[in-house]
Amino acid sequence: MMDRRTLVCGIALTMLLGTRGRAEQTQTVYRIGLVEAGAPSANQHFVDAFMAGLRELGYVPGKNIVVDVRWAEGQADGFRPALAELIRLRPDVIVVSSTLGAVEAKKVTTSIPVVFIGVPDPVGSGLASGLAEPGGNLTGLARAAGDGLVGKTVQELREIAPGVTRMAILWNPGAAIDERRVQAVAAAQAFGITPLVVEIHDRNGLQAAFGAMRKEHANALFVVTDPMTLANRDEIVKLAATNRLPAVYEFGEFVHAGGLVAYAPSITEQFRRAAIYVDKILHGAKPGDLPIEQPTKFELVINLKAAKALGITIPKEMLLRADEVIQ
């Protein structure tokens, strides 16, 4: 016969298993909506970085979290329908990249917490009251503050190609980031370079834009990054090479696509760190109380193959301070 101790242990084990089973059944499953500015063919690595960040914090897709991903496809008008779809799914948090995406998110919801990524000037863009205390329902990660980063990028160009006299600035006025154009113009003038602003509205205008650069005798290029230019970086890099224009970029992704040089914070790392903001909000933090994170590390990325094709010799001092050199 079963003794009393065995019976008690058996009952206790059954109760424990039953409790665990109920806990598993009632475990909270959070829903996150993510709108990436580009297309999956080019920007899937950003989403992968965000998912990696969630896993590092103990989230398991399909078990305690669901992430619904939408893509703006590099178009300014791609954010609104993507956000509308996600809001219908009633997410606990929305994550969105770029200034355009954050501005659209602010328009469509004041109640759902929003974490933005890669916004150059959150306060100037009207997304936050301040960096330390954003207020409202938005917070996140800034791309860089002030005009120092643009100036440093143009300085890198001047160091690589000291003979530059006329720098084209490829700019999408529909991206609502006019401060980047202004900063690029000021940086060029500070180095004695004539700035040539060339507008681009969509991929179909790229050929004409580079034709305008040739007409204006540009001998260098600065690309103002927005969802459209980033989504079409392969074509932009190709046209810069065809027109033999030393070009500098604000995202390392352009250099990985074959571009010459970029000086920028890692946006991939910012996607990973966005998971930390999501985790804090899911644990009760209010977005308006979470300080906006400024990048502290900037990466100099150089493509030697692109330099060789342009007949440019990268100074040894510059190679030594580079974070990544692509052979």
Query: At residue 97, does pLDDT exceed 60?
Result: yes
Look at residue 19 and tell me whether its pLDDT is greater than 50. no
Structure tokens at 42: 């080019």
Measured between its terminal Cα atoms, the distance across the chain in Å is 77
Residue 24 pLDDT greater than 50, yes or no: no
Lowest mean per-residue pLDDT among 4-13, 72-81, 149-158, 172-181: 4-13
**Would you give the distance in Å from CA 2 to the centre of its chain?**
65
Q: Using the 8-state DSSP alphabet, how is residue 308 labeled? A: H
**Domain residues of the chain, as ranges?**
30-144+266-289, 148-264+299-326
Tell me phi and psi for residue 32, to 5 degrees. Answer: -115, 135
Kindly report the CATH number that applies to the domain delimited by 30-144+266-289.
3.40.50.2300
Mean pLDDT of the chain: 90
| Tokens at 6, concatenated | 């065995």
* pTM exceeds 0.75: yes
**Which one, of 264, 215, 228, 274, lies nearest residue 51 by Cα?**
274
Tens of pLDDT, residues 240-280? 999 999 999 999 999 999 999 999 889 999 999 999 999 99
* Residue 75 banded pLDDT, cuts 50, 70, 90: confident
Pick 175 or 37 by higher pLDDT. Answer: 37
Per-residue pLDDT at 20 exceeds 50: no
Q: What is the mean pLDDT of residues 294-306?
A: 92
Residue 3 pLDDT more than 60?
A: no
The answer regarding whether domain 148-264+299-326 maps to CATH 2.160.10.10 reads no
Residue 21 has pLDDT above 80, yes or no: no
Single-letter amino acid code for the residue at 54: L
For the stretch 118-141, pLDDT in tens is 998 899 889 999 999 999 999 999
The CA distance from 273 to 141, in Å, is 8
CB neighbours of residue 88 within 10 Å: 9
> What's the pLDDT score for residue 52?
98
Count other C-beta atoms under 10 Å from residue 48's C-beta: 13
Q: What is the pLDDT of residues 170-228, one digit of tens each?
A: 999 987 567 888 889 999 999 999 999 999 998 899 999 999 999 999 999 999 998 89
- The reply to whether 30-144+266-289 and 148-264+299-326 are identical in fold is yes
Provide the pLDDT for residue 76. 82
